[in-house]
Each structure stands twice: as structure tokens, then as C-alpha cells.
Amino acid sequence: MSPHGTEGYNRAVARGAWIWLSDKLGRIWLRLLLINVTVVLVPVAGLEFARIYERQLLSALERDMNDQAALTRALLEQDLADGIELGDRRHRAILEAAAHRTRTRVRILDAQGALLVDSHRDGPPEGPEPEPPKWLPSRSDTDYRREPSRLLLRTSRDAKTTWPEIAERSEVRAALQGKDSAQTRLAHRPQAVFLFSATPVRAPGPTPRTVAGVVYVTRSTRPVLLELYRIRTGLFKVLTVALSLSVGITLLLAFSISRPLSRLSRAAKRIARGERGVALPVGGSGEIRELSESFRTMTEELDSRLTYISEFAADVAHEFKSPLTSIQGAAELLSEGAHEDPEARERFLNNILLDTQRLDRLVSRLLLLSRIESRVEGMTLVDLHTLLERICKRASTHEEGSTRGDVELHFQAQHTWLRGREEDLETAFTNLIENAQRYSPADKPVVVAAQDFPHGIVVSVADQGPGIPEARRDKIFERFYTTEAEQGGTGLGLAIVDTVARAHGGRVTLDSDVGVGSRFSVWLPRDHKKRSS
């Protein structure tokens, strides 16, 4: 593979890996889990701080012991200079008093390492001294100094040898040779870290001064470590419970969220494949239920729209079929010789002209209906009074010889503004008024009235024509329904009115008495903001 091919392959692999990772991390349950686990694991940092604190505490205890040993050494060297020997009764009283305040064991040894004075000769102030502990020579000074509380988890199997006699201990031997020394040892009963510090006491005289004795300081860290161990154990318990609860709650929440969403996703894919009547699950609570309800409403609207489109296409095909068949038949007859007969030719050509005019009217009306149904621009405030005045004035303007009557406007509504699309409203009211004029006697005016009703305005158009039989009233708003196809009716005028009313959140109703006339009423919601002003 060429270098360019290898580079392209690597980029494709990296892109694929990134897409896969993004998809996985985008899962709701995983994101919730990561967030909750991250929040819960924050206290883990506290455990590390506890370990750091333990090490710092051990160092602080050692410094305190060294300071105490240095202070005791200075006191003893001053007494030696004053002629007071090591092990004097005064020294015993001082050490015992210091032990009560500092919980530290202080011993004075002579130049051979023999014990002269012990602040704990009657046992430690806090209780009897434990049995002789075991000793871990090197490990106690490394692992347990790094993390002292670990010793509380050890057992007696960790013990290797017994502690040597005081004079044989390494720190004491070093002090007898004139060097400051310290050691850390582990006791298993009770388990604790013991800190030892040995400091030489020099006799007065010329330099170099000889070692007259040793200040041997011992301190147990058990009380402090027990408290730290208790805190850490409690923290571990809390952390374990919190982590378990977090994981459980996260999985529960993720399950209650992702499962309904997965079902909705599967249903959406089925709908996208063209399946009809897909049952949408309604599960979960709160926003998930609202989403399910909204999705179901959208699906029902989509099914309704698809059904409408299917029926509309069938109606259009049916309406177009008759004039097209007529045109085709006339054209075939003309091509077969009918054009030689002037009378037949004129009749066939006239039929073709009438059918094409009907098709043109159908296409124009269908385009208008389609534009109204698919209009997406927002609505604006419309002055209904001004709009109706303009329409009525135009409808009352007749050409000479017209048989249409006048139009009277009775605007009784207190509020003239509503929110809508002025062009569509003008089309709807114009259709109603023209229909009313067509059926009314020339000497009988068409009455247009506007009145208030709760939260809206109703505009009625009344004629004094023959009325509409009850059997036809249920079909009057259906597309392509007309009894005047021969006179050029398309059956779309009232369908357009109904579509405009529904697009504005309203409706159209019909009241008709045979022999008296008909009244079409358009109920439209009013703009509340404008009304309140």
C-alpha cells in the first residue's frame, strides 16, 4: 500500500473510531452513569489526601520527638556541668511530668546503655504498656512510614524477630558513638508504629567531649492511627454506598428514559418506511410522556395528511378524467373525418374549448387551495372591518346589465382586529359573497354581518335564494361537490372557505331553509392582545 493510501486508511479508521465513540458516549444511560460516577468518585481524592496527611503526621511526630530529645539533652548537659549526675531524682520527676503532657516515653541511659531513668516506670499514663512487640527491621521503616494506617490491617504473621535489648538497638548504639539516630518499628499487639529517637548526652570538658549517656525517646502512633483508620473506614463505607446508589439510580433513570425513547425511535423508523397505523407507545413520566404524546399527535396528523393527500389525488383524477376523456373523444372524431362537417367540427371544437376552460378553472382553484393549505408564513393583525368594507364595495359594483344584487354590510362587532392572513380571508369571504349573489334575486341584497362571540368574531353571509336541501348540506363543503358543473362550477369554492377557516383556528357552519335562503357563518378567534388594548 502506498504512503498516501496508508494515510487515508488511517484517517478513515480514526474517523470511524471517533464516530463509534461519539455514538456510545451519546447514549443517555452512559452519559448519566459517567456524570454520577465522576461526582461520586470525587471523595476518592480525599483518601489520597488522608494518606498524605498520615505521612505528614508521622513526620510531625518525629520532629516533636527530636525537639523533646534535644531539650532534654540540653537540660541534662547543663546538670552535668553543674555537677548533677545522670539519673538524679530530679530528672525522674521532670521526665514523668513531661510524659503526662506529651504521651511520650523518655528514658535516660548511661554510657554503657543501661537504663537509669524511665518516665514510664509505673506504666504509661494512658494505661499499661503492651506486651513486648515484634519487630520488622527494614519494612517498617519504608512501607509503614509511607502509609502508617496499613499496619492496622496486618497480622502477627508479619512479625519476624523480637526487638533486641535497649543497649543492642541500632539507634542506641549510634547515640553511644556520638550520633543522633532514629528508628521506626511495628508492634502487632496492639498494632501501632513506634517511633524511636536516641540522642547522645555529652559530658562537660574539652572538645571532643565524651558521651556520658543517651536520651532515648519513644512514642506510639496508635491513638492517632486508630482515629484515622476509623475515618477512612467510614469514608470507604460512605463511598461504597454512594457509588452503589449512584449506579443504581443512574441505571434506573437511564432505563426509564432510554427505553421509551428507543421504542419511539423504532416506531419512527417504521413510519419512515411507509407503514401506516403504527401504534406508538406512551410510557415514562414527565417530559418523556409529553414527548410520546406529542409524537403520537404528530403521527396521527401525518396519517390524516397522507389520507387527505390520497383522497385528494383520487378526487383530482376523477374530476380531470371527464373533461380529458371528452377532449380525447372530440379530437379522435375530428381526426377521423368529422372536421369535414362544418357543424360537427364547430360542436366538437366548442366542446374542447369548454372542457379546457373547465380544466383551467380546476387547476387555478387547486393551486389556490394548495397555496392556502401549505402556507407557512406567520399571521399578522388584520382589520376585519376594513377588509369586509373593501370586499362588499367591490361586490356591489356591477357592470351594465348585471343580474347580481347589492351587498349590505352590518358590522356590529366591538373589536375589529384579529390575527390571520388577509389574502386568504379575502379569498374566503369573496367566494361566499359571490355564491350568495349567484343564488339571490337581483332585487334582494346579500347581507354580510359581523358580531362578537366569546374570544372571537363570527362573520355571516346571508342570501335570499332557494336554499339548500337537507340531503345536500352534509356534502356542501366536500371538494369537487357541485350541482353546476355545466355552468362552470368546480366544487372547490366552499372547500376553500372551509380550509381558510380551519387554518385560522375557526370553522364554517351552514343554516338554510328551502325557499327562504342560506346563511354561511365563519367563526374566527380574535387576537387577544389587540382586544385588551
What domains, with CATH codes, occur in the chain? 44-230 (3.30.450.20), 297-374 (1.10.287.130), 377-397+406-533 (3.30.565.10)
More confident residue, 193 or 112: 112
Contact, 68 vs 58, CB < 8 A? no
Q: What is the pLDDT of residues 96-134, one digit of tens each?
A: 777 777 778 889 898 888 888 888 876 655 444 344 333
User: Is pLDDT of 221 > 80?
Assistant: no
Instruction: Kindly tell me the sign of the dihedral angle through the C-alpha atoms of 210, 216, 217, 219.
Output: positive
Question: Whole-angstrom Cα distance, residue 223 to residue 59?
Answer: 16
**Of 322, 346, 58, 29, nearest to 182 (Cα)?**
58
User: Is pLDDT of 156 > 60?
Assistant: no
User: Is pLDDT of 386 > 80?
Assistant: yes
**Of 526, 349, 522, nearest to 449 (Cα)?**
522
**Taking the CB of residue 69, how many other CB atoms lie within 10 A of it?**
23
Q: What is the pTM of this model?
A: 0.47
Percent of the chain with pLDDT over 70: 73
Question: Whole-angstrom Cα distance, residue 106 to residue 102?
Answer: 10
Strands (E), 59-138: 105-110, 115-118, 134-135
Q: What is the pLDDT of residues 309-347, one digit of tens each?
A: 776 677 677 667 777 888 888 888 877 777 677 777 788
- Per-residue burial over 347-379, b if 16 or more Cβ lie within 10 Å, else e, is ebeebbeebeebbeebeebbebbeebeeeeeeb
User: Is pLDDT of 30 > 50?
Assistant: yes
**Taking each helix axis from N to C terminus, what angle separates 44-81 and 89-102, rounded to the nearest 10 degrees?**
170
3-state secondary structure labels for all residues of 180-219:
CEEEEEEEECCEEEEEEEEEEEECCCCCCCCEEEEEEEEE
**Taking the CB of residue 138, how many other CB atoms lie within 10 A of it?**
8
Instruction: Give residue 129's pLDDT.
Output: 39
Three-class secondary structure of residue 81 per DSSP: helix
Question: Whole-angstrom Cα distance, residue 267 to residue 105?
Answer: 79
More confident residue, 46 or 69: 69
Question: Whole-angstrom Cα distance, residue 193 to residue 136?
Answer: 11
User: Is pLDDT of 448 > 70?
Assistant: yes
Contact, 352 vs 327, CB < 8 A? yes
Count of alpha carbons within 13 Å of 79, Cβ hemisphere only? 18
Give the single-character DSSP code of 315: H
Measured in whole angstroms, how far is the alpha carbon of residue 153 from the centre of its chain?
45
CA dihedral 243, 247, 249, 250 (to 10 degrees): 130
Q: What is the pLDDT of residues 228-247, one digit of tens each?
A: 777 777 777 877 887 787 77
User: Is pLDDT of 477 > 80?
Assistant: no
Measured in whole angstroms, how far is the alpha carbon of residue 522 from the centre of its chain?
44
Instruction: Give residue 495's pLDDT.
Output: 83
What backbone phi and psi angles, to 5 degrees, belong to 275? Answer: -70, 145
More confident residue, 271 or 169: 169
Instruction: Give residue 158's pLDDT.
Output: 46
